[in-house]
């Protein structure tokens, strides 16, 4: 038994999401960071790696060198998987080279710049037989897993309506030159087809699909850019119908002044409904027609096996965003361990967003951008080829 060894591409000094990935990977003591190509600038990559107490030999000047060099290390030393935390436009080439070089991949989202790229990525995953995970963080929360279980066992009855909203305010003001986060997200060359829908709308869509074990199928979309010089959307609303016939509304915005990271999901069935807010993630509301609403709490009473498996503390000791993120990492590490031990991964280990979610997300982004330009209301999402994902399998125990 040993720790799973992780490399990282991107996430050098000053980057936000790289540090989150590292904390998430470290939290449970299952994964150790052993190498990285943290920046396109070799000196900065080295400096970043040293600050992380890495062996300078394994602070690589670029990702190509990283994969080549690590692949030549003896099995007992070389990394098991790479975490990709670059801007969007590099996700595809880095992931493909990793997979081709024999490494599993955990990628930040969105998976690629376009659905076409994503199909290429999916083919590469299939061809190489490597593991691919995608950090749709919010499905890592224990009570989101509980929500999925409650829907799956019919606690809500037939699901009829979904309202999901993801509102932020940080792009409301004109982006300053120094704000790197804003700059690349609003640049079509680096962000892809969409800013708001690609950055956060796709999280909201993924959350719906995960909780309802369902897929968005037809949409009506209206995206806008609130400042005149913006080339990509910074907010939008999407009406949708799912494969199972549920009716829904998705609202996403990065220009709602005063909102922090307001991801909120409501699912209405014909027997009961549920509500969850990311900013208070340890509570989940169950509401009924003729009985008091119940506040399901992390750690209180009987929760589903998947929710339970993703909790670390007793009730009343709040877990947060990093813990949700860490759940994906720990579960993904479990998949790697299962492969190393030639056993099947458990339900809990497989409960990580995968290449099918990647395809679904890219199909969503592409569809809403196109639908928004159309004077017609309704449009159909491109069908995803691969349907063998954990979503369709309805893994709930």
Looking at 63, 132, 268, 364, which residue binds a second copy (CB under 8 A)? 268
Of the two residues 43 and 65, which places its CB atom closer to a second copy in the complex? 43
Provide, rounded to whole angstroms, the least separation between the CB of residue 56 and a second copy: 11
Rounded Cα distance between 265 and 95, Å, is 31
Any residues with CB less than 8 A from the CB of 85 and at least 6 apart, and which?
A: 8, 9, 10, 11, 15, 17, 18, 21, 108
Rounded Cα distance between 382 and 360, Å, is 9
Within 10 angstroms of residue 230's Cβ, the number of other Cβ atoms is: 16
Taking only Cα atoms into account, the Rg of the chain, rounded to an integer number of angstroms, comes to 20
Looking at 43, 57, 153, 173, which residue binds a second copy (CB under 8 A)? 173
Strands across the sheet containing 81-85: 31-37, 4-10, 81-85, 104-107, 132-134
Any residues with CB less than 8 A from the CB of 127 and at least 6 apart, and which?
A: none
Looking at 251, 352, 365, 381, which residue binds a second copy (CB under 8 A)? 251
Rounded Cα distance between 220 and 241, Å, is 9
Give yes or no for residue 16 binding a second copy (CB under 8 A).
Answer: yes
Provide, rounded to whole angstroms, the least separation between the CB of residue 302 and a second copy: 8
Provide, rounded to whole angstroms, the least separation between the CB of residue 240 and a second copy: 10
What's the full length of the chain, in residues?
Answer: 397
Rounded Cα distance between 315 and 282, Å, is 9
Rounded Cα distance between 114 and 358, Å, is 10
Of the two residues 13 and 100, which places its CB atom closer to a second copy in the complex? 13
Looking at 317, 343, 380, 385, which residue binds a second copy (CB under 8 A)? 317
Give yes or no for residue 183 binding a second copy (CB under 8 A).
Answer: no
Q: Which residue carries 């037809």 as its tokens?
A: 218
Of the two residues 263 and 363, which places its CB atom closer to a second copy in the complex? 263
For 67, the enclosing helix (H) or strand (E) is helix 63-72
Rounded Cα distance between 214 and 208, Å, is 8
Provide, rounded to whole angstroms, the least separation between the CB of residue 153 and a second copy: 16
Site for a second copy in 130-169 (CB under 8 A): 160-161, 163, 165, 168-169
Provide, rounded to whole angstroms, the least separation between the CB of residue 296 and a second copy: 5
Provide, rounded to whole angstroms, the least separation between the CB of residue 19 and a second copy: 7
Given a contact cutoff of 8 angstroms between Cβ atoms, the answer to whether 303 and 147 are in contact is no
Give yes or no for residue 315 binding a second copy (CB under 8 A).
Answer: yes
Rounded Cα distance between 259 and 11, Å, is 26
Rounded Cα distance between 104 and 114, Å, is 21
Q: Which residue carries 């996430």 as its tokens?
A: 11
Give yes or no for residue 1 binding a second copy (CB under 8 A).
Answer: yes
Provide, rounded to whole angstroms, the least separation between the CB of residue 210 and a second copy: 19
Give yes or no for residue 245 binding a second copy (CB under 8 A).
Answer: no
Of the two residues 216 and 391, which places its CB atom closer to a second copy in the complex? 216
Site string for a second copy, 214-243 (x = CB under 8 A): ------x-x-x-x--------x-x-x----
Provide, rounded to whole angstroms, the least separation between the CB of residue 6 and a second copy: 12
Rounded Cα distance between 126 and 120, Å, is 10
Give yes or no for residue 287 binding a second copy (CB under 8 A).
Answer: yes
Give yes or no for residue 3 binding a second copy (CB under 8 A).
Answer: yes
- For residue 15, give the DSSP letter: -
Within 10 angstroms of residue 51's Cβ, the number of other Cβ atoms is: 12
Of the two residues 132 and 141, which places its CB atom closer to a second copy in the complex? 141
The first and second tokens of residue 336, run together, are 């790697």
Give yes or no for residue 316 binding a second copy (CB under 8 A).
Answer: yes
Give yes or no for residue 50 binding a second copy (CB under 8 A).
Answer: yes
Return the range that interacts with a second copy (CB under 8 A); candidates 15-23, 74-82, 120-128, 200-208: 15-23
Site string for a second copy, 326-365 (x = CB under 8 A): ----------------------------------------
Provide, rounded to whole angstroms, the least separation between the CB of residue 244 and a second copy: 15
């Amino acid at each position: 038994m040993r720790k799973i060894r992780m490399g990282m591409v991107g996430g050098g000094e000053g980057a936000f999401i790289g540090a989150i990935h590292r904390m998430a990977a470290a939290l449970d003591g299952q994964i150790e960071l052993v190498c990285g190509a943290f920046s396109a600038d070799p000196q900065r990559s080295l400096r970043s790696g040293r600050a992380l107490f890495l062996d300078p030999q394994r602070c690589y000047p670029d990702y190509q060198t990283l994969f080549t060099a690590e692949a030549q290390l003896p099995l007992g030393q070389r990394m098991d998987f790479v975490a990709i935390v670059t801007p969007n436009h590099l996700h595809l080439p880095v992931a493909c080279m990793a997979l081709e070089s024999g490494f599993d991949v955990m990628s930040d989202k969105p998976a690629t710049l376009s659905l076409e790229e994503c199909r290429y990525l999916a083919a590469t995953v299939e061809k190489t037989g490597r593991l691919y995970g995608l950090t749709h963080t919010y499905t890592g929360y224990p009570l989101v897993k509980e929500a999925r279980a409650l829907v799956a066992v019919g606690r809500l009855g037939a699901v009829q309506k979904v309202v999901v909203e993801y509102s932020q305010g940080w792009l409301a003001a004109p982006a300053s030159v120094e704000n790197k986060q804003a700059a690349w997200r609003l640049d079509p060359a680096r962000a892809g087809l969409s800013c708001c829908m690609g950055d956060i709308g796709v999280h909201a869509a993924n959350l719906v699909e995960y909780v309802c074990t369902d897929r968005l199928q037809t949409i009506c979309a209206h995206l806008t850019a609130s400042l005149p010089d913006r080339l990509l959307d910074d907010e939008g609303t999407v009406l949708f119908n799912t494969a199972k016939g549920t009716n829904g509304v998705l609202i996403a915005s990065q220009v709602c002044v005063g909102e922090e990271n307001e991801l909120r999901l409501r699912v209405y069935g014909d027997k009961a409904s549920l509500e969850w807010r990311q900013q208070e993630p340890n509570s989940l509301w169950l509401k009924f027609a003729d009985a008091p609403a119940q506040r399901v709490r992390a750690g209180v009473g009987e929760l589903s096996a998947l929710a339970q498996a993703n909790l670390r503390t007793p009730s009343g000791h709040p877990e947060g965003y990093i813990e949700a993120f860490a759940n994906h990492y720990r579960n993904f590490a479990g998949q790697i361990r299962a492969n190393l031990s030639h056993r099947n991964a458990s339900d809990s280990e497989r409960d990580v967003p995968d290449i099918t979610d990647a395809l679904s997300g890219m199909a969503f982004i592409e569809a809403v951008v196109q639908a928004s330009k159309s004077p017609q209301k309704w449009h159909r999402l491109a069908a995803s080829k691969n349907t063998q994902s954990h979503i369709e399998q309805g893994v709930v125990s």
